[in-house]
């Protein structure tokens, strides 16, 4: 019976090799998938809390792998970040979203903001401000109709590169929102330093807040803080009547979640826009 550390080492090596070739395989998979148009966007409305009419839309990425398996973003975005593929993929997302929003405007729909998610890795690995400026010029979309959702992780990095990109994006006239607020290293310092346009209260605080006093208290405090700093508040992940009533009662500005609508295909979102404008 072999009982040496060498055996363990070999297992370790084999595991690493498999992990590496898995990664390498994924990287070429990603490239092929982008080329074969397996990525697409779905669109989730945000509505004005008082009127219920549409105020914006968030573009969410989907991967229909080999046209047979739908992979959720939570599964492939971390890998795309690790391999660096998030840079070309993220650029594709912004381009596609801007192009689409411009098409909707040209078709005569009431203009709305389109939001895209940009991760900390994207800010660190590419010149986001230059990419966005170029895409706006190429698509002809005016900057106020584009919103970028960043996370606390992006602000926490505090490298010159990221700070300059965010500052320049704001100067361009692009709207910046802080996503998943309350789940990361929420720092009042960042809110003061960056003066972002809006703040999205994370779904984990909204979920069943009528049954959890702590969640309701946090949601209310975050809303007051944001308003005090001149930011608007989006309640995300609203699914139930009670959640909606509570976030409205404390003055949240916008609502997003399954209660309003799930993320929709381009076609279904266009029907949504059409019925919305008739109200």
Q: Which is nearer to ligand C2E, 7 or 155 (CB)?
A: 155
In the complex, least distance from residue 181 CB atom to ligand C2E, rounded to whole angstroms: 10
152 binds ligand C2E (CB under 6 A): no
Q: Which is nearer to Ca ion, 180 or 243 (CB)?
A: 180
**Angle between helix 5-35 and helix 86-106 axes, rounded to 10 deg:** 30
Which residues, 6 or more positions from 214, have their beta carbon under 8 angstroms from its beta carbon? none
What residue is closest to ligand C2E based on CB? 257
In the complex, least distance from residue 88 CB atom to ligand C2E, rounded to whole angstroms: 12
84 binds ligand C2E (CB under 6 A): no
In the complex, least distance from residue 199 CB atom to ligand C2E, rounded to whole angstroms: 13
Alpha carbon distance 132, 130 (integer Å): 5
Here the tokens at position 209 are 């807040």
Q: Which is nearer to ligand C2E, 90 or 223 (CB)?
A: 90
Q: What DSSP state is assigned to residue 64?
A: E
237 binds ligand C2E (CB under 6 A): yes
**Interacting span for ligand C2E (CB under 6 A) from 9-17, 124-132, 133-141, 234-242:** 234-242
258 binds ligand C2E (CB under 6 A): yes
Q: Indicate which single residue of 55, 100, 117, 122 sits in contact with Ca ion (rule: CB under 5 A).
A: 117
**Interacting span for ligand C2E (CB under 6 A) from 112-120, 135-143, 167-175, 218-226:** 112-120
Residue 237 binding result from Ca ion, ligand C2E, none, given CB thresholds of 5 to 8 Å by partner type: ligand C2E
Q: Which is nearer to ligand C2E, 119 or 228 (CB)?
A: 119
H or E segment and range at residue 44: strand 39-48
147 binds Ca ion (CB under 5 A): no
Q: Indicate which single residue of 38, 81, 129, 180 sits in contact with Ca ion (rule: CB under 5 A).
A: 180
Q: Indicate which single residue of 117, 126, 186, 198 sits in contact with ligand C2E (rule: CB under 6 A).
A: 117
55 binds ligand C2E (CB under 6 A): no
Q: Can you spell out the DSSP letters for the chain?
A: ----HHHHHHHHHHHHHHHHHHHHHHHHHHHHHHHTT-EEEEEEEEEETTT--EEEEEEEEEEEETTTEEE-HHHHHHHHHHHTTHHHHHHHHHHHHHHHHHHHHHTTPPP-EEEEE--HHHHHHS-HHHHHHHHHHHHT--GGGEEEEE-HHHHHH--HHHHHHHHHHHHHT-EEEEEEETSS---HHHHHHH--SEEEEPHHHHTTTTT-HHHHHHHHHHHHHHHHTT-EEEE-S--SHHHHHHHHHTT-SEE-STTT---B-HHHHHHHHHHHHH-
263 binds ligand C2E (CB under 6 A): yes
Chain residues that interact with Ca ion, rule: CB under 5 A = 117, 149, 179-180
Chain residues that interact with ligand C2E, rule: CB under 6 A = 44, 60-61, 72-74, 77, 90, 93, 116-119, 179-180, 237-239, 257-258, 263
């Amino acid at each position: 019976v072999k009982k040496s550390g060498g055996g363990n080492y070999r297992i370790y090596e084999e595991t690493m090799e498999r992990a590496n070739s898995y990664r390498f395989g994924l990287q070429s998979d990603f490239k092929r998938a982008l080329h074969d148009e397996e990525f697409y966007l779905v669109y989730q409305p945000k509505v004005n809390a008082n009127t219920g009419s549409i105020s914006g839309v968030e573009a969410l990425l989907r991967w229909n792998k080999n046209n047979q398996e739908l992979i959720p973003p939570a599964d492939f975005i971390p890998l795309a970040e690790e391999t660096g593929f998030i840079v070309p993929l993220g650029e594709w997302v912004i381009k596609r979203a801007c192009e689409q929003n411009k098409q909707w405007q040209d078709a005569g729909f009431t203009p709305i903001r389109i939001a895209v998610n940009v991760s900390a890795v994207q800010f660190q690995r590419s010149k986001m401000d230059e990419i966005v400026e170029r895409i706006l010029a190429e698509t002809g979309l005016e900057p106020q109709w584009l919103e970028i959702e960043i996370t606390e992780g992006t602000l926490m990095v505090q490298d010159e590169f990221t700070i300059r990109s965010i500052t320049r994006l704001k100067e361009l006239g692009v709207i910046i929102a802080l996503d998943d607020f309350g789940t990361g290293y929420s720092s009042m310092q960042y809110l003061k330093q960056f003066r972002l346009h809006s703040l999205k209260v994370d779904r984990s605080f909204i979920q069943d807040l009528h049954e959890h006093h702590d969640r309701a208290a946090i949601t209310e405090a975050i809303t007051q803080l944001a308003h005090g700093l001149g930011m608007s508040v989006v309640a995300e992940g609203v699914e139930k009547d009670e959640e909606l009533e509570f976030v409205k009662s404390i003055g949240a500005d916008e609502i997003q979640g399954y209660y309003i609508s799930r993320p929709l295909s381009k076609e279904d979102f266009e029907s949504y826009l059409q019925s919305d404008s008739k109200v």
